[in-house]
Amino acid sequence: MLENLRVENLALIDHEEIEFTEGLNVMTGETGAGKSIILGALNLSLGGKINRGMVRDNERDAYVEAVFTLSPAEEKRLTDQGFMVYDSQLILSRRIKGAKSVARINGETVPAARLAEAGRELIDIYGQREHQSLSDPRKHLAILDSFVKNELDPLLDQLAPVYREYSALCREAKEADMDESERKRDISYLTHVSNEIEEAGLEDGEDQETEDSYRRMSGAEKTAKGLSQIDGLLFEQADVLSLIGQSQRVLSEIADGDSSLSSLSSTLDDAYDILDGFSHDIRKAADDLTFEPEEFRQVSERLDLINDLKAKYGRTIDDIRKTKEDADRRLEQLLDHEAYMKSLEKRIADTKERLESLCIKAEEIRKKGALELSSQVKKSLNNLNFLKADFSVSLKRKGYSQTGFNDAEFLISTNPGEPVKPLSQVASGGEMSRIMLAIKTVLASSYDTGTMIFDEIDTGISGRTASAVARELDKVSKGRQVILITHLPQIAALSDRHFLIEKSASDDSTVSSIRELREDEIIDELSRMIGGDVITDAVRESARELREAKVKSV
């Protein structure tokens, strides 16, 4: 059940916090007051798409937070899906800042899609789109399956992998269907692949070891060339030691007559000793490099071979071996193609038999569920002022899929004596809304949906039909939470909590606010809904009578 909804800096709302309760929570207000913003905010907390234009003040973060108290059934479903639940509570939030948004569940950052997964277990939202979707027969099977999900879902868990196996075998058979020239061409190619990989004799980790050796040898070759170049420049081309020796003799001769030059002579002696030692060191370093050109050539060729195989058959040695295994397996099939095809046909037949059996079981569950759904929807339609309406679910077979081989279509007759026809051909917009409400009512009783939300369910209805819809919504709200936006006083009068959404304007801004009404204020709001701008004593008395009917029923 949705306990609390907090909204900040979103569209016309600056800051609002709404506390809901079990039973019928009604929201009313003038057109344009911002009723849809509340549901829009809730939708954001459930992982809905963000419209950046909804942020009221771009200098501040927009924030929505929905706090749910969970029933034991909801808690089990959520924990089974990996959600961490604390004290039977789940808090979903969304913060929007500039171009970014952060989604959280119980304070832990999660992808927005994870919010949506949780939301599907907590809330059933019904709006204009949902009743329009009834016109699409492709949606009908999902509705029927939802009605029988407790019995059907475990069977579909078995059916789906069998269908995938069957589909894969059929694809394999299609790919194996070839003429003799194709078979010979494939045999030749696969033989080449297998032999090439086999002859390479690859070993685990060899690719990295060979690359490391190549890099080390490449560095040694480069180092040897550099040392040789230095030796040549210093001691062969220029013969720096010989030049220093000559300079020493000249300096020694002139230093005899000038004692101040003795320090220069000493410096030159040091330079000679340093370079002489360097000459010996550089030649020793070159001699110490163990570099065999033939070994380097072999390593280079091996590395080229490994990289070539990787380019052809996989990024790793394991991938290359897997390619060989696949090639050998396919070769075995092609070399004895007739036996392979017979084996494949038998596997397809066996899998199809298992798939057919599971599909038939699913169909039996659906047939039984279709009869029960039809019966319950007819009763609900009668409560919604469809007198003597007939409703049925037509099941047909189609090709195999992960959900079986059935299609479903809802058929209805709203007038006595008329045969049932497809829903899309019979029902008007207002009728479609009531039909969807009837179906939702039935589904709610068969599945533990803690919170149901109806957005303007009253579109296109009035009079006795409005009263019938009000009674049905009141009945649905018993033992669960229903939140709805309405324009009809007949529905609003039955509220357990009534919230008024108002819009106010100042010189520089327009703000929507929401508040829970006291009992006397509920009468005022019902009067406005009945009489509009003109509220007479008769209008107020009508409002009081509507409300008293609710109070007396409690």
Q: What is the pLDDT of residues 356-396, one digit of tens each?
A: 999 999 999 999 999 999 999 998 888 888 878 889 999 99
Backbone angles phi, psi at 452, to 5 degrees: -120, 135
According to the model, what pLDDT value does residue 330 have? 83
pLDDT at residue 531 tops 80: yes
Total domains in the chain come to 2
Q: Which domain holds residue 286?
A: 149-357
Q: Is 131 helix (H, G, I), strand (E, B) or coil?
A: helix
Name the most confidently modeled range: 60-69, 222-231, 467-476.
Answer: 60-69
Q: In the structure, what pLDDT confidence band is assigned to residue 464 with cuts at 50, 70 and 90? A: confident
Question: Residue 378's closest CA among 444, 435, 440?
Answer: 435
Q: Of the candidates 130, 155, 141, 138, which has an alpha carbon nearest to the alpha carbon of residue 393?
A: 141
User: How confident is residue 75, by pLDDT bands cut at 50, 70 and 90?
Assistant: confident
pLDDT of residue 550: 65
Tokens read off for 500:
């008024």
User: Residue 336 belongs to what H/E stretch?
Assistant: none
pLDDT at 353: 96
Are residue 117 and residue 189 in the same domain, yes or no? no
Distance set, CA 493 to CA 19, 366, 545 (Å): 19, 39, 9
Mean pLDDT of the chain: 84
298 plus 162 within the same structural domain: yes
Per-residue pLDDT at 290: 59
Same-domain status, 180 and 247: yes
Residue 267 pLDDT: 81
Q: Is the pLDDT of residue 553 over 60?
A: no
Identify whether residues 479 and 339 lie together within a single domain: no
Domain boundary among 357, 389, 424: 357
15 within domain boundaries: yes
The arithmetic mean of pLDDT across residues 284-313, rounded, is 82
Between 316 and 510, whose confidence is greater?
Answer: 316
Residues 485 and 343 in one domain: no
Residue 530 within a domain = no
As a whole number, mean pLDDT of residues 245-269 equals 74
- For the residues of 347-405, what is the DSSP string, one character each? HHHHHHHHHHHHHHHHHHHHHHHHHHHHHHHHHHHHHTT-TT-EEEEEEEEEEEETTEE
pLDDT bracket for residue 168 (50, 70, 90): very high
For position 5, what pLDDT does the model report?
A: 93
Out of 267-271, 302-306, 334-338, the most confident range is 302-306
Predicted pLDDT at 305: 92
Residue 159 banded pLDDT, cuts 50, 70, 90: very high
Any bridge partners for residue 404, and if so which?
401
Classify 177 in phi/psi space as left (phi over 0), alpha (psi -120 to 50) or beta. beta
Question: Residue written as tokens 């913003």?
Answer: 37
pLDDT of res. 132: 59
Pairing mode, if any, of strands 481-485 and 451-455?
Answer: parallel
Does residue 184 belong to any structural domain of this protein? yes
Instruction: Say if 80 falls within a structural domain.
Output: yes
Percent of the chain with pLDDT over 90: 29
The residue that leads in pLDDT, 526 or 36, is 526
Q: What is the mean pLDDT of residues 242-270?
A: 75
Same domain, 243 and 298: yes
**What is d(CA 300, CA 217) in angstroms, rounded to the nearest whole number?**
10
User: Domain for residue 529, yes or no?
Assistant: no
- Could you give the CA distance from residue 544 to residue 70 in angstroms, rounded to a whole number? 36
Beta-carbon contacts of residue 426 (< 8 Å; ≥ 6 apart) = 412, 413, 414
> Are 82 and 157 within one domain?
no
Give the C-alpha separation, 197 to 309, whole Å: 8
- The residue with greater pLDDT, 132 or 422, is 422
Q: Are residues 317 and 191 both part of a single domain?
A: yes
User: 305 and 255, same structural domain?
Assistant: yes
Residue owning tokens 């038939």: 360
Compute φ and ψ for 225, nearest 5 degrees.
-65, -40
pLDDT > 90? residue 415: no
Q: Specify the pLDDT at position 130.
A: 61
Q: Nearest to residue 305, comparing CAs of 222, 220, 214, 217? A: 214
Among residues 374, 377, 375, 413, the alpha carbon closest in space to that of 394 is found at 374
Residue 552 scores a pLDDT above 60: no
39 and 122 part of one domain: yes
- Asked whether residue 366 is assigned to any structural domain, the reply reads no
Q: Which residue, of 357, 392, 413, is where some domain finishes?
A: 357
- Tell me, yes or no, whether 79 and 210 share the same domain: no
554, pLDDT greater than 60: no
CA distance 111 to 97: 16
Helix (H/G/I), strand (E/B), else coil: 315? coil
- CA dihedral defined by 200, 203, 207, 213, rounded to 10 degrees? -100
Q: What is the CATH number of the domain that holds 66?
A: 3.40.50.300
Which pLDDT does position 169 carry in this prediction? Answer: 93
Last residue of a domain, one of 307, 324, 357: 357
Q: Are 149 and 141 in contact (CB under 8 A)?
A: no
Distance, CA of 137 to CA of 393 (rounded, Å):
11
Residue 433 lies in a domain: no
Of the segments 103-107, 290-294, 442-446, 463-467, which one has the largest average pLDDT value?
103-107
Strands 404-413 and 421-422, how do they pair?
antiparallel
> Does residue 289 have a pLDDT over 70?
no
Residues 123 and 214 in one domain: no
Query: Rounded to whole angstroms, how far apart are CA atoms 373 and 149?
Result: 12
Cα 333 versus chain centre, distance: 40
What is residue 33's predicted lDDT score, i.e. its pLDDT? 73
Summarize pLDDT for 194-234 with one digit per residue, the tens.
999 999 899 999 899 898 888 877 777 677 777 777 777 77
Indicate yes or no: pTM above 0.75: no
In whole angstroms, give the CA distance from residue 387 to residue 414: 8
CB 318 within 8 A of CB 202: no
Tell me the mean pLDDT in the region 255-267. 72
Q: What are phi and psi of 408, to 5 degrees?
A: -130, 150
Is residue 547 a part of any domain in this protein?
Answer: no
- How high is the pLDDT of residue 163? 96
